[in-house]
Amino acid sequence: MEYLRFPLLLFIFFHSLSTTKATDLETYIVQVESPDSQISTHTSTSDLDSWYHSFLPTTIANSGEETRMVYAYHRVIKGFAAKLSAEEFKEMEKKEGFISARPQRVLSLHTTHTPSFLGLQQNLGFWRDTNYGKGVIIGVLDTGIAPDHPSFNDEGMPPPPAKWKGKCEFNFTACNNKLIGARSFSFGRGTTLDDDGHGTHTASTAAGSFVKNANVYGNANGTAVGVAPLAHLAIYRVCTSFGCSESDILAAMDVAIEDGVDILSLSLGGSTEAFHDDAIALGAYSAMEQGIFVSCSAGNRGPTPRSVANEAPWILTVGASTLDRNIKATAVLGNKEEFQGESAFQPKDFPSTMSPLAYAGSNQSGISSPYCSKTLLNNTDLTGKIVLCEVGGGVTRVAKGQAVKAAGGIAMILMNRMQDGFTTSADAHVLPATDVTYADGQKILAYINSTSNPLATITFQGTIIGDKNTPVVASFSSRGPSRATPGILKPDIIGPGVNIIAAWPTSVENNTEPKPTFNIISGTSMSCPHLSGVAALLKSAHPDWSPSIIKSAIMTTADTVNLGNNTIQDENHEPANLFAVGAGHVNPSRANDPGLVYDIQPKDYIPYLCGLNYTNREVGVIVQQKINCLEVGSIQQGQLNYPSFSIILGSTPQTYTRTVINVGEASSSYTVDVVAPPGVNVKVEPSVLNFTQLNQKMSYQVTFTQTANSSSSTVDVEGFLKWKSTKYSVRSPIAALLTRVF
């Protein structure tokens, strides 16, 4: 056998623990070598499939058990998914060319007013200039879609581009010029219908059509519309409410590339992994090579440092921020204290008179259930009471209200966790409720413990717009620095992700009529499709821009101040650091005309990957070709032509080169403006860039030098460099970790 001479492929198998029973099967990701004849992009799929079958044990390959082969991948990676017993798997391991294997992971979901908040206005400015995303196809990998929702009406939509090759797998007439494709990759669950809601919500956020009088129980009323309302949607169901398997994600990305999507939007992810071991990173790399922009959520494990997910530099990693809209509900106590919170369910007939107030953590049955779980409240009599519940405990906010309501409670006050800071959620509750901060919740609890007859009521103020502190980084939004690649600043950007109203497949469980067809939820899942929509608008206006250029335009034009013209804050109303905001908050209109852009070609990532100390085989798995890092060479992470800087700086100065492309005015001059991080000297050469034509490239070097001893521990500092002309300002943030080495 000659397989060891040739480039790497990555394969996925289902591995049983001891028998061939389906219930014992487990998914493994297996890496093997590939024969030279299979690496051509023109190799037929039948040839590839034959090669894949050669790795199956003979007893299966000759048995005709087609169901044992689940997926055959042809684009994102070369490989397949198959079901094997432990004995069959061991037989496969002995085959020439086998490299390694690991169990498949199950990843999780990162769970109206936003277009105007982002400066998008009908028939004006950026929306008009980009033609609302016309002609662009956004592929959404999520829980499916509710095709009959008015957000997916195709009135005024042109037909899909001629390049579109996708399919509509609904067993009824559902697809149209808006929803041009729908496929399910949730193995064994063959419907593309959304039985969760998450996918419908994210798809409509990215590219939903105009829907008048959208609201949730009368709140946040207005015209709902996605960020790119004339873009087409292609739906790939890879998730259920229980999670998203890596094999399904790879299969969907594989097909989406072939279908002809322009943007991939993934509001899902897992923990940090090396890129050669990360299904999303692998699929995104292949998509990027084909000119497809990939937008992913940063994760909901904030505000913990080093919690960011989807960190590959060829992915736009999106954190979450608040809007200038609050749906206010105020808890009023018997001692006259008032605490403002939020709720999307705001009944007009809730009595203003005081009712008994109880803390679920010390209920009458003696069972401490601060999280208001259904099980522990099952035998508790809360009739006529307003109940204080704590957020957390594995119980959703709405489910807590359901448990309180079932126990006879008439209303609920939700107390957030300490780490949530000032972030509150306006959920569509099943009973009158308000979500208050941890600090306010503690004051309410202290009041309950101070009297034998605690009383309260809730007043509802409806939708309030104009909060000058916004955007604020959401407490849940995952933070950097990146574990997988600390030399790349992540997240890249933040966008609206708190209390986002968008389409919902079924009515929210509530006795109020009429039933809503929209819902309000929060998460980086919600911020990701906002940026996917922005990318679609930019792609429509600049079809020749590469994914890296689109990312650069978004990052270098981002806002760093809030509506009150003060520094963007975090959940504690302190200045947010770069590992929370990345380059800042997206400003779509400015991104459409950025002046200068940074581009990265696919081949540029190879020395970067070698610089991560990956083996030749591991780099080859990512780029799908034979790699010798000694021949290619390696670069430090900071040397990648990225629009931001993230460095670990000791006593040795570090110099990095950046190249910009002029996409602004043909004849223009840019002067560098540097605000150096404290304790760091930043030298930029040259300090002036003079351009004489469009698309002209010019390079500059940045040298970072630590100027003084740091403290006994390492310290994070930050600054920025900015290229300024008479018209443009092109900003790159600088995050530096200083180590004491003098």
Q: Which residues does 560 contact at the CB level (< 8 Å), separation at least 6?
A: 567, 568, 581, 584, 585, 731
Specify whether 585 is catalytic.
no
Q: Do strands 596-597 and 654-662 pair parallel, antiparallel, or not at all (unpaired)?
A: antiparallel
722, 717, 711, 732: which is closest to 689 by C-alpha?
722
Cα separation of 112 and 395, whole Å?
Answer: 28
Peptide bond into 491 cis (omega under 30): yes
Q: Which residues in 357-385 are b (16+ Cβ under 10 Å) and which e?
A: bbbbbebeeebebbbbbeebbeebebeeb
491, 606, 541: which is closest to 127 by C-alpha?
541
- Torsion (CA) 43, 44, 48, 53 in degrees, nearest 10: -150
Lookup: tokens for 144 = 């499916």
533, 652, 675: which is closest to 231 by C-alpha?
533
DSSP annotation of 228: S
Tell me the HSE value of 42 on the side-chain side, using a 13 A CA sphere.
0
Residues 528 and 297 sit within 8 Å (Cβ to Cβ):
yes
Q: Which of 15, 198, 276, 429 is catalytic?
A: 198
Peptide bond into 686 cis (omega under 30): yes
Torsion region of 624: left, alpha or beta (phi above 0 gives left; psi -120 to 50 gives alpha): left
CB atoms within 10 A of CB 467: 16
| Alpha carbon distances (Å) from 136 to 38, 329, 673 | 32, 40, 36
Q: Which of 142, 248, 492, 570 is catalytic?
A: 142
- Torsion (CA) 482, 487, 493, 498 in degrees, nearest 10: 10
Cα separation of 721 and 739, whole Å?
Answer: 22
Lookup: tokens for 132 = 């609302």
Q: Do strands 518-521 and 500-503 pair parallel, antiparallel, or not at all (unpaired)?
A: antiparallel
Lookup: tokens for 119 = 């400066």
Q: E-strand spans in 506-550?
A: 518-521
Lookup: tokens for 41 = 């992009």
Q: Which residues does 439 contact at the CB level (< 8 Å), separation at least 6?
A: none
Residues 208 and 155 sit within 8 Å (Cβ to Cβ):
no
N-to-C CA span, the chain: 56
Specify whether 589 is catalytic.
no
3-state secondary structure of 730: strand
Q: E-strand spans in 17-78?
A: 25-33, 69-73
Cα separation of 738 and 715, whole Å?
Answer: 5
Q: To the nearest 5 percent, what fractions of the chain are helix, strand and coil?
A: 25, 30, 45
What's the distance, CA 107 to chain centroid?
13
Q: Which of 34, 522, 525, 725 is catalytic?
A: 525
H or E stretch including 67?
none
Specify whether 198 is catalytic.
yes
Residues 160 and 137 sit within 8 Å (Cβ to Cβ):
yes
Residues 101 and 26 sit within 8 Å (Cβ to Cβ):
no
Q: Which residues are catalytic?
A: 142, 198, 525
